[in-house]
Amino acid sequence: MAIDITAFHFLRPLWLLLLIPAALLPFAWLRRNDVRARWRNIIAPPLLAHLIVGEKTRRRVQPVHTLSALIALGALSVAGPTWQQERPPFDQDKAPLVIVLELARSMDAADIAPSRIERAKQKVLDLAAARKGARTGLVVFASSAHLVVPPTEDPAMLDLYVPALAPALMPRDGKNAAAGLAIAERALQKSDAAGTIVFMSDGFDANHTDEFLRLAKASKHQLLWLAVGTENGGPIRGANGELEMDDAGHPVTGTFDAAAIRKITQAASIPLASMRADDDDIDWVQRRAQVYLEAAQEAKIVPRWKETGYWLVLPILLIALYCFRRGWTVKWLPVVLVALATTDVQNEARAASFEWIDLFATHDQQGRWSFEHADYKRAAQRFDDPIWKGRAQYLAGDYPDALETFARLDTAESQFYIGNTLAHLQDYEGALKAYDNALARRADFPDARANRDLMQKLIKDEKDEGDESTTLKPDQIDEQKKKSKEGKQVLVQGQRPSEEAWMRNLNTSPAAFLHRRFEQEAGGAP
């Protein structure tokens, strides 16, 4: 390991004052135990030499020398020698990212197998999977733009909605990337970290150039563009897989406007790349997002120097072991050992909960490490922070404990997770109330609003089933319930499903839900 001498310094230099007594202690001890020095002024030196009884030569290394060495090395270790910087343990280490996906009709073109939109949707999921532990959001646009999933660390939200995306969901066709950029900016505006916005598109509407450039130049986030399509374009296939025809009976072709994309990216200084069949485009986005985040944080990060004094513990232990030799062992050492062996039960219980890692990291830091490595059960045991502890219990499937943890808090996030937990426990009415509480505390909470809508639809479906069964005869009711159970996915009691399984078990159509929401949000927009 190379040491930068110019950056070498001590974090706590006042401890170096202990070097003074460490250096003076041997001289003071030798002077105190020097028989000649004590009697020199009383007895003549020639006579004193014959009166001294004992060895004339002493061992070179005395206990006082090892004690001085221990004090000196301990002072150097506690002073904190360092020459390297490190990031704080809870610093934002993953760049937040929002994907802005075009859902224009041309994205159904089949010049890229199986189609442009299918390839782009797969890239969205691949990018979210590659960014494990980082916040990823999704915006779609055509003539209007809509937020599908706000930046979240939960990939299940993307897994739920991305497969359902199609150009047919959009109220009107178009390529209004400026509207998509505006919504992506709003989605990232509460993030302190520098984020990245990635466009996936096969063209650009020049009518929105001025608005797009204004937003792009005012943005504090990095913009990237992945172009989707081939030079010659391709035929558009419908939902049934058949080619779409125009009124003249000719196949409808999806064009690829590479010139418009190149022009707007050059004007806005946006890095441009093509969507590929391999993962090179994913790596390109990942690398640029991380580099941009690190560069943006470099100026505002408070320097945190890496402790290196702990390496001096090794020579300290070796010197301490050297002290355990005949004539050097401290006489009261057996008393200390007996005291340690007879420690009361309470101290033993306290010691049992202590782990060696506690010397180097707090419980929250240990919990964060386990959380990022998907060991949620272990993370829940280590976390002291209630919101992180509750999230770990929630993801571990320990819903009763998670509910108890979140119930101690009174924030929008805790109410949101109470709603999710109650939904897992199939208490949909309670979940709906929890989502209402979350929105009452924070109106701009898209996740809570989306889950609330899902709960309302699920409750309505259950009520409709109940109303229908009341019109049947008793024997028909049993048969109807049997059919209902066969046709509807339900949660198995005691099962711990993943987030993806749970979201799919809500028995709602993401495509219909998105289509209805997009129409409501678009309103009378042209």
Overall average pLDDT of the 337-362 stretch: 49
249 or 98, greater pLDDT? 98
Both structure tokens of 152: 């979240």
Percent of the chain with pLDDT over 70: 75
Look over the chain and give the mean of its residue pLDDT values, rounded to a whole number. 78
- Residue 114 preceded by cis peptide, ω within 30: yes
248 or 101, greater pLDDT? 101
CA pair distance 234, 118, nearest whole angstrom: 14
SS (H, E, C) 15-31: HHHHHHHHHHHHHHHHH
Q: Given this model, what pLDDT does residue 522 score?
A: 81
Q: Is the model's pLDDT at 357 over the cut of 70?
A: no
Is residue 255 within 8 Å of 247, Cβ to Cβ? no
Q: Is residue 342 part of a domain?
A: no
Q: Is residue 318 part of a domain?
A: yes
Q: Is residue 73 part of a domain?
A: yes
31 and 72 co-located in one domain: yes
Overall average pLDDT of the 40-60 stretch: 65
Q: Is residue 169 part of a domain?
A: yes
DSSP for residue 6: G
Q: Is the model's pLDDT at 480 over the cut of 50?
A: no
| Consecutive H or E run containing 69 | helix 63-79
Overall average pLDDT of the 226-254 stretch: 79
**Max alpha carbon distance in the chain (Å)?**
133
For 137-180, the pLDDT digits (tens) are 999 999 999 999 888 887 777 888 899 999 999 999 999 999 99
Q: Given this model, what pLDDT does residue 139 score?
A: 95
126 and 233 co-located in one domain: yes
Q: Is the model's pLDDT at 478 over the cut of 80?
A: no
Overall average pLDDT of the 76-83 stretch: 88
Burial class (CB in 10 A: 0-12, 13-18, 19+), 49: exposed
Q: Is the model's pLDDT at 34 over the cut of 60?
A: yes
Overall average pLDDT of the 185-191 stretch: 85
CA pair distance 71, 48, nearest whole angstrom: 36
Domains of the chain: total:
3
CATH assignment at residue 292: 3.40.50.410
171 and 59 co-located in one domain: no
Overall average pLDDT of the 427-441 stretch: 87
Q: Is the model's pLDDT at 472 over the cut of 60?
A: no
122 or 27, greater pLDDT? 122
Overall average pLDDT of the 412-424 stretch: 87
69 and 101 co-located in one domain: no
Q: Is the model's pLDDT at 491 over the cut of 50?
A: no
Burial class (CB in 10 A: 0-12, 13-18, 19+), 232: exposed
175 and 40 co-located in one domain: no
Q: Which residues of 271-290 are buried (b: 16+ CB within 10 A; e: fewer)?
A: eebebeeeeebbeebbebbb
Q: Given this model, what pLDDT does residue 179 score?
A: 95
33 and 178 co-located in one domain: no
Q: Is the model's pLDDT at 346 over the cut of 90?
A: no
Percent of the chain with pLDDT over 90: 24
Q: Given this model, what pLDDT does residue 349 score?
A: 39
255 and 312 co-located in one domain: no
Q: Is residue 352 part of a domain?
A: no
112 and 202 co-located in one domain: yes
Q: Given this model, what pLDDT does residue 298 score?
A: 66
Both structure tokens of 52: 């001294």
505 and 374 co-located in one domain: yes
Show the domain range for 43. Answer: 5-84+308-333
Domain boundary among 298, 325, 341: 298
Question: Which of 40-54, 67-81, 314-328 has the highest mean predicted lDDT (pLDDT)?
Answer: 67-81
Q: Is the model's pLDDT at 456 over the cut of 80?
A: yes
CA pair distance 458, 467, nearest whole angstrom: 14
122 and 256 co-located in one domain: yes
Q: Is residue 351 part of a domain?
A: no
162 and 236 co-located in one domain: yes
Q: Is residue 347 part of a domain?
A: no
496 or 451, greater pLDDT? 451
Q: Given this model, what pLDDT does residue 399 score?
A: 86
CA pair distance 365, 342, nearest whole angstrom: 33
252 and 378 co-located in one domain: no
Overall average pLDDT of the 322-330 stretch: 60
For 205-234, the pLDDT digits (tens) are 999 999 999 999 999 999 999 999 998 888
Is residue 399 within 8 Å of 430, Cβ to Cβ? no
CA pair distance 307, 304, nearest whole angstrom: 9
Tell whether pTM > 0.75. no
CATH assignment at residue 500: 1.25.40.10
Domain boundary among 298, 318, 347: 298
Work out the pLDDT band at 14, boundaries 50, 70, 90. Answer: very high
Which of 15-29, 337-351, 375-389, 512-526 has the lowest average pLDDT?
337-351
Q: Is the model's pLDDT at 493 over the cut of 80?
A: no
For 268-293, the pLDDT digits (tens) are 999 999 999 899 999 999 999 888 88
Is residue 410 within 8 Å of 434, Cβ to Cβ? no
Cross-strand pairs, 99: 138, 198
Residue 341, CA distances (Å) to 335, 345, 373 in order: 10, 11, 38
Q: Given this model, what pLDDT does residue 477 score?
A: 37
